[in-house]
Amino acid sequence: MIKILFVCHGNICRSPMAEFAMKELVKKAGIEDQFQIASAATSAEEVGNPVYPPARRKLAEHGISCAGKTARQVRKRDYADYDLLIGMDQANIRNLRQICGGDPDGKIHLLLEYAGDLGQEVADPWYTGDFEATWQDVLAGCRGILRGQEGARERVN
């Protein structure tokens, strides 16, 4: 089982978009039983709040529901509980490392590393208003994670 935690500042836009996009990709690939996928925030600002309506609408445009999702904050134990902790921007990465007490096992990564864009950040649509651009980045990163995991399974088998 591959356990992935997507992380952004508030867990109401980017990280839930990534969580539910990834869940949809693994479902379509017929391998959802091989993954545990969730999302969380580095801040406590939005804890308990639902996915931001424009993010929810963007997911719905692609036939993806995020019903019932509410924001939660990253906990130190998430580092032990997940194989990958995927941040959307450098601030998320810094905060993740602080919350988790570092990254001794190399589990913390930027999402767009998986799309071949090392150092690139997923823009926060809370500020940009461009949920389509965020969706495209999130989808590219999630597809890259899936390709990487499929490749890893092929090398093992």
Look at residue 155 and give its three-state secondary structure: helix
Helix axes 14-28, 131-156, angle to 10 degrees: 40
133 in a domain, yes or no?
yes
Amino acid at 22: M
Tell me whether residue 142 is one of the annotated catalytic residues. no
Annotated catalytic residue within 14, 78, 100, 137: 14
Residues of the domain holding 88: 2-149
154 in a domain, yes or no?
no
pTM of the model: 0.94
Sequence-separated (6 or more) residues with CB below 8 Å from residue 104: none
Strands 35-41 and 84-87: unpaired
Say how far apart CA 115 and CA 105 lie, in whole Å: 21
- Tens digits of per-residue pLDDT, 10-69? 999 999 999 999 999 999 999 999 999 999 999 999 999 999 999 999 999 999 999 999
Annotated catalytic residue within 56, 89, 100, 124: 124
Tell me whether residue 124 is one of the annotated catalytic residues. yes
Whether 155 has a pLDDT exceeding 70, the answer reads no
115 in a domain, yes or no?
yes
Whether 156 has a pLDDT exceeding 50, the answer reads no
Q: How many domains does the chain divide into?
A: 1
Could you tell me the pLDDT band of residue 148, with boundaries at 50, 70 and 90? confident
Say how far apart CA 152 and CA 50 lie, in whole Å: 34
User: For the domain that residue 93 is a member of, what is the CATH number?
Assistant: 3.40.50.2300
157 in a domain, yes or no?
no
24 in a domain, yes or no?
yes
156 in a domain, yes or no?
no
Say how far apart CA 64 and CA 154 lie, in whole Å: 28
Tell me whether residue 81 is one of the annotated catalytic residues. no
Q: In degrees, to the nearest 5, what angle opens at C-alpha 51 toward C-alphas 67 and 108?
A: 110
23 in a domain, yes or no?
yes
Which of 78-87, 116-125, 147-156 is predicted with the least confidence, judged by mean pLDDT?
Answer: 147-156
Say how far apart CA 5 and CA 78 lie, in whole Å: 8
137 in a domain, yes or no?
yes
